Structure 1
Amino acid sequence: MAPIVVGDSLPDGDLAWFDESDQLWMIPIHSLAAGKKVIIFGVLGAFTPICSMNHVPGFIESAEELKSKGVDEILLISVNDPFVMKTWAKSYPENRHVKFLADGSSYYTHDLGLELDFSEVGLGIRSRRFALLVDNLVVTVANIEEGGGEVTISGVEEILKFL
């Protein structure tokens, strides 16, 4: 499947999320993005070094600025189970705005065309690093990294240039 690009409609799909009271929900992405301006960013995996020390903290630290520029939701997607994502989210006690969404079976990542196969190093199917700016379900920015390495175009600094 070809990766999602600018002008595409955001596919719908259910992602797992634990709310503040530790209730597990299966949330259709359209319910979070319809009629709103949202950032959806994807990472290789929970607790991986670059994701944990660079990619995710950038969005958490810039959340207020993103919100002040009209962003309604900041959504993080990773191919991990929801319990891992809940624990990872709790490792950022300063986080008030980024929702940690689990795509445990990588179905949604597949629908976005953003899968990476890291089976040869024991990680299985993962997500490419990416950052999408979506306005009322239409992709207006699609910053997709080539591999799972460094954060270049998928970091918060690049998204801020478009707001």
Structure 2
Amino acid sequence: MIKVGDTIPHTTLMEYSEVEGEGCSIGPNAVDVAKAAAGKTIAVFALPGAFTPTCSAKHVPGYVEKFDKFKAAGVDEIWCVSVNDAFVMGAWARDQKANGKVRMLADGSAEFTKETGLSLDLTARGMGLRSNRYSMLIKDGKVVTLNIEGPGKFEVSDADTMLGQLNA
């Protein structure tokens, strides 16, 4: 399992872009995790699934609402990672009004999730392999903080906890 001090996995996530700009075409675009994180401070949070109750009502809204506080604390980008496809993540970004604040990154084949060792088997619930709920702060590709939730919990991966760690 990934831990503080480790380098984030060198995998590719997918991002749906609503509009063309800055070299991105409309539609799903590959995001090379290592390149995208190089030289940046990134608050990453991952969750089991788009449009799921806790994720939609609490997890994503906290990061969207506190975007300016994250920027003021020195965070360059906020990433939300979920084992969903880029089209679902794009629709969820619209629903959550996350565009321009939180990058909704799809881990469709769970490669990033498997490489972090933070997968969650929800086959019994009809959801298959998903990501555990967690947050981590990454600086120049290295994990600085890591907050992993217990089963069914939402206590340590929220925006307020991450901000507290940033401002400590």
Tell me the TM-score normalized by structure 2. 0.91
**Deviation of the 1:150 alpha carbon:** 2.8
* Equivalent AA in structure 1 for residue 2 of structure 2: I
| Contact 1:37–1:135, Cα closer than 8 Å, also in 2 | yes
Equivalent position of 1:156 in the other structure: 159
1:24 counterpart (5, 14, 28)? 28
Alignment partner, residue 83 of structure 1: 87
List aligned pairs for 1:1-163, cutoff 5 A.
3-21=1-19, 22-93=26-97, 95-147=99-151, 149-163=152-166
Measure the CA separation in 1 of the matches of 2:87 and 2:147: 28
The one-letter amino acid of 2:93's match is A
- 8 Å CA contact 1:32, 1:73 repeated in 2: no
- SS of equivalent residue, structure 1 residue 161: helix
Q: Which runs of 4+ in 1 moved over 4 A?
A: none
Instruction: Give the Å deviation of 1:136.
Output: 0.7
Across the aligned residues of Structure 1 and Structure 2, the Cα RMSD in angstroms comes to: 1.1
For structure 2, the residue ranges without an aligned partner over 5 or more in a row are 20-25
Q: What is the count of residue pairs matched by the alignment?
A: 160
For 1:62-119, what per-residue CA distance to the aligned partner results, in whole angstroms no more than 9, with x for missing partners? 0110011100010000000111111111102364310000001111100011100010
CA distance in 2, matches of 1:54, 1:94: 13
| Superposed CA offset, 1:2-27 (max 9, x none) | x2111111111100101231332011
Q: Deviations over 1:40-62 (max 9, x none)?
A: 11011000000000000000000
122 and 92 in structure 1: CA distance in 2 versus 1, 3 angstrom threshold: same
TM-score normalised by the chain length of structure 1: 0.94
The residue type paired with residue 52 of structure 2 is: T
- Aligned residues with identical type, % of pairs: 41
Matching residue's letter, 1:146: G
Contact 2:15 2:104 survives alignment (8 Å): yes
- The answer (yes or no) to whether the contact 2:60–2:96 under 8 Å persists in 1 is no
